[in-house]
Amino acid sequence: MIKVGIIGGTGYTGVELLRLLASHPQCEVVTITSRAEAGKPVSALFPSLRGHFDLCFETPDAANLKQCDLVFFATPNGIAMTQVPDLLAAGVRVIDLAADFRIKDQATWEHWYGMQHACPELLEEAVYGLPEINRQAVKQARLVANPGCYPTAVGLGFLPLVEAGLIELDTLIADTKSGVSGAGRKASVGQLMGEVGESFKAYAIPGHRHQPEIRQTLSLAADQPVGLTFVPHLLPMIRGIEATLYARLNNKDVGDLQALFEERYLDEPFVDVMPEGSHPETRSVRGANHCRIAVHRPMDGEMLVISSVIDNLVKGAAGQAVQSMNLMFGLPETTGLEQVALLP
């Protein structure tokens, strides 16, 4: 049985981890931390977990994290990097669901996150936890950087084309949309129902923190730099990401693109290439650890359009983290992650 600790268990990714781990047959959550809610039963804050967890929240100082086999950080950016070295030294493996270890270049990370990195010596060691490209490395990892939600949807959508060298790499466009849970579980006027309901807007057009993360993934796959225009949008829904991706072919004679995607993801348990002509819906992945993808070539032209959907809290966060945990401990990758999407 894997003994698990969760640091920062009161946000949406924290409760999503608990929801998934509650039915995981090889996992026991032994501690969960929160400074603000210390002493309060988990089920008091999250009634959906009543009968599944008898734990109370503990302060990080009181929690015996070194008893754990694995610790998940479901904390804001900048927290994990201050605690990870001590945990690794004690033999505890770590999965960080924030961004502290996603970007390899220290200067780039510090520019986008506005703080000095506390342990840059671990940036190179940290394995980017997208199993579809780093499965073998995740299996051996002590420290996994769980990918961002937008980077997961965008990366998986572009990846087959980039790996095959079929598209121009300097003009990629990612037009993405997310539900409000992507902003986290905090009080904010901009996230009130009266502010986001019946409305739709783009944000962070001048630059978003996920852009360098996406470019890093695609550049490594292409073995050369890529250019990317990335525009996120906020939708008046709770869960889900839809990424509409645009790429220009570098040669009109590219063969069967549907077959290319199907072959690339043939053995991937959580990537579903939809039938030709499909338009994936976010509700088809709600609550499930799946990415559904469709590839289109409108009017047989030079521009390709790829649609990629995920649940930002599952494949975009907690589910992908559990997927990596399974790999790290030699379990079948799908263990505890076979939930069917919620409909309606």
- Among 27, 68, 119, 149, the active-site one is 149
CATH number of the domain enclosing 197: 3.30.360.10
Q: Render pLDDT for 147-205 as a digit per residue (tens, 0 to 9).
A: 999 999 999 999 999 999 999 999 999 999 999 988 777 767 777 777 888 899 999 99
Q: What is the pLDDT of residues 227-277, one digit of tens each?
A: 999 999 999 999 999 999 999 999 878 899 999 999 999 999 999 999 999
Mark whether 303 and 156 lie in a shared domain: yes
**Alpha-carbon span 291 to 315, nearest angstrom:** 7
Answer yes or no: are the C-beta atoms of 308 and 242 closer than 8 Å.
yes
301 lies in some domain: yes
Instruction: Mark whether 112 and 186 lie in a shared domain.
Output: no
Residues 114 and 181 in one domain: no
Q: How far apart are CA 16 and CA 201, in angstroms?
A: 26
Strand ranges in the chain using DSSP code E only, listed in sequence order? 2-7, 27-33, 70-73, 93-96, 127-128, 143-145, 172-178, 201-202, 228-234, 241-248, 271-273, 291-296, 303-310
Q: Does any domain span residue 115?
A: yes
Residues 185 and 59 in one domain: no
pLDDT of residue 61: 84
- Shared domain check, 181 and 79: no
Q: What is the 3-state secondary structure (H, E, C) of 11-80?
A: CHHHHHHHHHHCCCCCEEEEEEECCCCCCCEHHHHCHHHCCCCCCECECCCCCCHHHCCEEEECCCCCCH
What phi and psi, each to the nearest 5 degrees, are found at residue 57?
Answer: -65, 145
Q: Are residues 300 and 234 in the same domain?
A: yes
Q: Does 249 fall in a domain?
A: yes
Q: Is 42 found in the same domain as 154?
A: no
Query: Would you state the pLDDT for residue 187?
Result: 64
* Residues 160 and 97 grouped into a single domain: no
Of the candidates 312, 319, 344, the one whose C-alpha atom is nearest the C-alpha of residue 334 is: 319
pLDDT for the residue numbered 40:
95
Residue 59 lies in a domain: yes
pLDDT score of 278: 98
CA dihedral angle for residue 28, residue 343, residue 42, residue 59, rounded to 10 degrees: 80
Q: Residue 15: give its domain's CATH number.
A: 3.40.50.720
Is 130 a member of any domain?
Answer: no
Domain annotation covers residue 336: no
The pLDDT score that the predictor gives to residue 194 is 79
Question: Is residue 280 located within the same domain as residue 237?
Answer: yes
Residue by residue, DSSP assigns 319-342 as HHHHHHHHHHTT--TTTT--PPPP
Is the same domain home to 48 and 157? no
pLDDT in tens, 61-105: 878 999 999 999 999 999 999 999 999 999 999 999 999 999 999
Strands 127-128 and 143-145: parallel
What's the chain's average pLDDT?
95
Nearest partner of 216 among 295, 94, 101, judged by Cα = 101
Q: Comparing C-alpha atoms, which of 134, 145, 148, 169 is closest to residue 80?
A: 145
Domain assignment present for residue 138? The answer is: no
Count structural domains, the chain: 2
Which residues span the domain enclosing 263? 150-312
Same domain assignment for residues 95 and 167: no
Q: Do both 302 and 223 map to the same domain? A: yes
Residue 112: which pLDDT band, with cuts at 50, 70 and 90?
A: very high
**pLDDT above 90 for 144:** yes
169: helix, coil or strand? coil
Alpha carbons 228 and 69: distance in angstroms, whole number: 38
pTM for the structure as a whole: 0.96
Q: pLDDT at residue 34 above 80?
A: yes
Any domain includes 167 = yes
Question: Catalytic annotation on 149?
Answer: yes
